[in-house]
């Protein structure tokens, strides 16, 4: 396994955000994503609720411009209290 693989920027970068479901969870998450990736295409967004309705999953693909952008986005998403996981 080669651990020296590096991402070539810019590139399409999928992000999966999971959190506690509340009425505006997906709106809040997508607002955070748009702050860090203003060119995000709404067609790349997928939102699903868990079977029991307690959690919400938001998948989005952004055009990543660099590691600094990705790190800032990851930190901003985790700063949202309802977010439990960012993959």
pLDDT tens by residue, the chain, 87 residues: 555 678 899 999 999 999 999 989 999 999 999 999 999 999 999 999 999 989 999 999 999 999 999 999 999 999 999 999 999
Nearest to 10 by CA among 62, 47, 48, 56: 62
Query: Cis peptide leading into 10, omega within 30 of 0?
Result: yes
pTM: 0.90
d(CA 69, CA 57): 22
d(CA 61, CA 43): 9
């Amino acid at each position: 396994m080669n651990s020296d693989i590096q991402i070539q920027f810019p590139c399409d970068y999928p992000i999966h955000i999971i959190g506690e479901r509340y009425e505006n969870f997906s709106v809040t998450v997508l607002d955070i994503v748009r702050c860090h990736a203003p060119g995000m295409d709404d067609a790349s967004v997928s939102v699903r609720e868990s079977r029991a309705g307690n959690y919400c999953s938001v998948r989005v693909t952004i055009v990543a411009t660099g590691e600094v952008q990705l790190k800032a986005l990851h930190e901003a998403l985790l700063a949202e209290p309802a977010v439990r996981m960012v993959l």
